[in-house]
Structures are given as C-alpha cells and as structure tokens.
Amino acid sequence: MPVYRDEGVVLRTMPLAEADRIITVLTRRTGRIRAVAKGVRRTSSRFGARLEPGTYVDLQLHEGRSLDTVTQADIVSPYGAVIASDYPRHTAAAVMLETAERLTGEERQPAMRLFLLLVGGLRTLAEGERPPSLVLDAFLLRALAVSGYAMALDDCARCGEPGPHHALSVPAGGVVCPQCRPHGAVSMSLAAVKLLSDLLTGDWAAAGATEVRTRREAGGCVAAYLQWHLEYGLRALPHLERA
C-alpha cells in the first residue's frame, strides 16, 4: 500500500472495535481524510493522546481502499488540549472543527485556504488574547467566503446598490437595500453590520471595541447564514457560549 505523509488538524474521532479509533483530519495537501488509528484507546498506545480533536499533527499514513491507516503521529501544536480548559474557547473550537468538516464536501479534495484558516483560528483561541466569540465569527465568515459563500456586507446582495444597508437576507446572500428587501429579511443595527465587515477584513481593533449586545447580534446572523448554506444545523452550535 502507498505510504504518504501530511500534516493536519484532527476534526473528529469515533471508536472502532475495542481499541481502535477512526479519525477525521483536514490535512494541508490532501484535504479531508478518514483514517484508522489502531490501538489508540489502549492505555499503552504510543500516540493515542496525539489524535484528539483540535490537535495539529504531522501524520504518516498507509493509503487504503476506504480508510487509511495511521502509522505515525507527532504533535505540531496541541491546540485542542490548551483550549479544552476554557469552556467558551472549547465550544468555539468545536463549532470551528465541525464547520471545517462540513465545508469539505468530498474527501481528498485539497482545501489549503480552509486548512490555513482553521489553524489560524485555533492558534488564536489557544493564545486567549481575543474574545472567543469574535474569533469564531471571523473564522466562520472567512471559511464561508473561501468556500464560495461570501456574505455581502457593503453593497446590496441583489442589485449592487452601495451601502451601508441594515437589512440582512440570508437567502439573498447578505445585506439588501430597501428596494430589494424580500419578505423575511431581518433588520440589523449598522454597528452589527460593521462588526461583521471588520471581522471579515481583520480589523481587530474596531471589532474589539464593540459592545456585547452588538457581538451577540452579529453572531446570531453569522450562525443563521452558516446553517442556511450547510442546509442543516451544527451539533456543536447549541452548546456555544457567547460573551
């Protein structure tokens, strides 16, 4: 069987048989893969703790027909273990990992930009210098954008009329002007619209100066937009703690 090496972030794990585990990993070069890690649930396993969700690992694998097999695993950065000690950061990371898995619709399709966004988001959460809710929403907006679902935040999503606009239509793809506003569009404060734009462009100084209620309003809109494009809800989202 062909052997290959790649680095990636563990997205999810599930038990297999008595001592094995199936891991889902978003890798730098190969894309999303699933692999069997044999014996990792035994206390004597040499790399069981290295394959936990949120861990950035360097892997050596045997390529299989349906599942690859992990033969070596080395930790690059233990983001998951660091984040796990703080509930708001832990729940934000869980949403990020599930989103990354769902946005990679097919296995073995390279997704370098999404991979880099995920590593950057987990690194920022682990550093603990920015509010987890802002880190999460910045990741979600950018991940959607690189996946082809960018949210229009300046010009009208339907006619292109320059903004600012304060009505958001999820089906239309972002903010809409009064003339294009469809039934079901929600009104947003201009502060929340600006916060989303700042998070998308990386203006952390402006984003960090916002009020809690503005962050919650913006976060609710991001969650609705995300789930619309994913077509059904995320398991981790109801557990998210927003400040």
β-strand pairing of 32-37 with 68-77? parallel
The one-letter amino acid at 118: L
The set of residues, in sequence order, having a beta carbon less than 8 Å from that of 173 and lying 6+ positions away, is 149, 150, 151, 152, 157
Name which of 109, 102, 106, 103 is nearest 27 in CA terms.
Answer: 109
Buried b (16+ CB within 10 A) or exposed e, 216-233: ebbbebbbebbeeeeeee
Q: Where are the beta strands (DSSP E) in 116-189?
A: 167-169, 174-176, 186-187
pLDDT score, position 226: 96
pLDDT score, position 213: 96
How distant, in Å, are the alpha carbons of 46, 101, 118 from that of 35?
A: 17, 14, 20
pLDDT score, position 232: 80
pLDDT score, position 1: 56
Instruction: Please list the rounded mean pLDDT of every run of 10 residues in the chain (243 residues).
Output: 92 91 97 93 76 96 92 95 95 97 94 98 97 98 97 97 96 97 96 98 97 96 95 89 69
Rounded to 10 degrees, the C-alpha dihedral 40/10/89/45 comes to: 10
Nearest-angstrom CA–CA distance, 227 and 230? 5
Tens of pLDDT, residue by residue over 25-64, are 999 999 999 999 998 888 767 777 789 999 999 999 999 8
User: pTM for this one?
Assistant: 0.95
pLDDT score, position 233: 84
